[in-house]
Amino acid sequence: MLNIQGQSTALAHIQRVVHSRRLASTWIFAGPAGVGKFHTAVEMAKTNLCDRPVHRPNSHNGELFNALLEPDFLLTLPCGQCESCKAVELRTHPDLHVVSRQLIRYHDRNGTSKGTTLSIQVIRGEMIGDDSPEHRVEPKIYKRSQRGRGKWFIIDEADLMEIPAQNALLKTLEEPPAQTFIILITTSPTELLSTIRSRSQFVQFRALSFAVMAPELMNRGAGEVQARLLARLSGGSLGRAIIFMQAVIASDPDEKDKADTKTPTTDQPAFPHWINTISSALDNMLAGREGGMDLAKVIQKSAEQYAKTMLKRDPLASKDRLVRDGVGLMLSFVAAWLDDRLRHATGAPIIAPLPSQVQSIPLAAAQECIAVCRQAEMQADMNAHIGVLLASTCTAIEQSLRTAVAA
Ligand SMILES: [Zn+2]
């Protein structure tokens, strides 16, 4: 639990609670996607399930493992060697249960659910059981811990729990079985019932800083400039940046040819094709050669291409989900592109410059358009109709840029 980069506040909080031996039975790990919440939850379960947990002082050779804890604070860590630790790593530990919406395929008898939400059938099947005569599922949560060190349930994407699922779970949280621990992982804690939130120990995870992300991405094979670009586009989510990186690296061979190969210096990133296409559409829009609808079309087409590429890697993924991810990525790129122009206008340093013929645009318009992009990114992630969303977003951007440039 030491090496989860950039999360010292969350980790210090958890260490203090573990140290006090007053573990709450329900926890909420909240924060952006891909910043280490799930990994931390598994490590926490591993520490508590470990047969021989290790205690060692926070200070080692004059350096602190966690700068927010006192030097002589005794950290509790999993040994990493015992049978229990190994089983957690292999995800075969009988007392560690990961509950995800994808498990619907084992619990939906009609085969109608797509698993886009976390259904009550999954919560019943994996946790609280079902005593209706037609189903009869034993409640895993009331069974005795098999290795005698308690049971852990990690509910991934807990905000996707349907209300009946949350209500059913709430009943269990009100009188939790002994030595049973539940961690709810969520990007939107407000989607959880307030009655669940009030019963839980809350741990906030943060977006990762640029300094944490860039080296992590370079370790995974990104070039320096590419790492900086990905860190920018992913909004502090390492998980998201890694997915984007895979999409860039694994783009279709014909896409790769179209990628920017005529870059003059080695310090230029190998931009995927769509970055150049969207940049040109933005340039053309500012020059009055094209409109917002042209930009919308370019984004939609690029997002569909992105989804196609990603679908080849994971044929079970939902195409709609991937198109939404692609649109989110591209809107985040548009925001970063506008941010470059804004920085140019104000003389602020530009971290990883994006291609454009235009140098700066008026401050207020750039800020307004960035806000429009951020808002649209969130809506793309939810259920908004993609075509309509892109049309209204891009025409709004066109309008505010045109007005500002004309003024
Ligand atoms: Zn161990």
Segments in 266-318 forming alpha helices (H): 273-286, 292-313
Q: What pLDDT was estimated at residue 406? A: 67
Q: What pLDDT was estimated at residue 403? A: 77
**Predicted confidence (pLDDT) per residue in 120-156, tens digit:** 889 998 999 887 777 778 889 988 999 989 999 999 9
379 vs 45: which has the higher pLDDT = 45
Q: What pLDDT was estimated at residue 264? A: 37
pLDDT higher than 80, residue 353: no
pLDDT band at 287 (very low <50, low <70, confident <90, very high): confident
Instruction: Name the percent of the chain in helix, strand, coil, to the closest 5.
Output: 55, 10, 35
Q: How far is the CA of 65 from the centre of ligand 1 (A)?
A: 20
23 vs 250: which has the higher pLDDT = 23
Domain boundaries in the chain?
8-204, 250-406
Q: How far is the CA of 50 from the centre of ligand 1 (A)?
A: 4
For the ranges 36-50, 103-117, 163-177, the lowest mean pLDDT is seen at 103-117
Spatial contact of 40 and 5, defined as CB atoms under 8 Å apart: no
Cα gap 311→317, rounded to integer Å: 6
Q: What pLDDT was estimated at residue 158? A: 94
Name the 3-class secondary structure at 403.
Answer: helix
Q: Which residue in this structure is represented by tokens 């122009």? A: 341
Cα gap 126→99, rounded to integer Å: 7
Please give the structure tokens belonging to residue 268.
């230029």
Q: What pLDDT was estimated at residue 249? A: 60
Q: How far is the CA of 4 from the centre of ligand 1 (A)?
A: 18
Q: What pLDDT was estimated at residue 248? A: 66
The residue type at 11: L
Q: How far is the CA of 122 from the centre of ligand 1 (A)?
A: 30
Q: What pLDDT was estimated at residue 271? A: 64
Q: How far is the CA of 90 from the centre of ligand 1 (A)?
A: 13
Q: How far is the CA of 88 from the centre of ligand 1 (A)?
A: 9
- For the chain, what's the residue count? 407
CATH number of 8-204: 3.40.50.300
Q: What pLDDT was estimated at residue 76? A: 94
149 vs 239: which has the higher pLDDT = 149
Q: How far is the CA of 117 from the centre of ligand 1 (A)?
A: 34
Cα gap 321→289, rounded to integer Å: 32
Q: How far is the CA of 52 from the centre of ligand 1 (A)?
A: 5
This prediction's pTM = 0.73
Q: How far is the CA of 180 from the centre of ligand 1 (A)?
A: 19
Most confident of 3-7, 193-197, 248-252: 193-197
pLDDT band at 202 (very low <50, low <70, confident <90, very high): very high
**Predicted confidence (pLDDT) per residue in 368-396, tens digit:** 999 999 899 888 877 789 999 999 999 99
Q: How far is the CA of 106 from the centre of ligand 1 (A)?
A: 31
Look over the chain and give the mean of its residue pLDDT values, rounded to a whole number. Answer: 86
Q: How far is the CA of 170 from the centre of ligand 1 (A)?
A: 31
Angle between helices 319-346 and 292-313 (to 10 degrees): 130
Q: How far is the CA of 125 from the centre of ligand 1 (A)?
A: 29
pLDDT band at 250 (very low <50, low <70, confident <90, very high): low
Q: How far is the CA of 244 from the centre of ligand 1 (A)?
A: 34
The residue type at 345: A
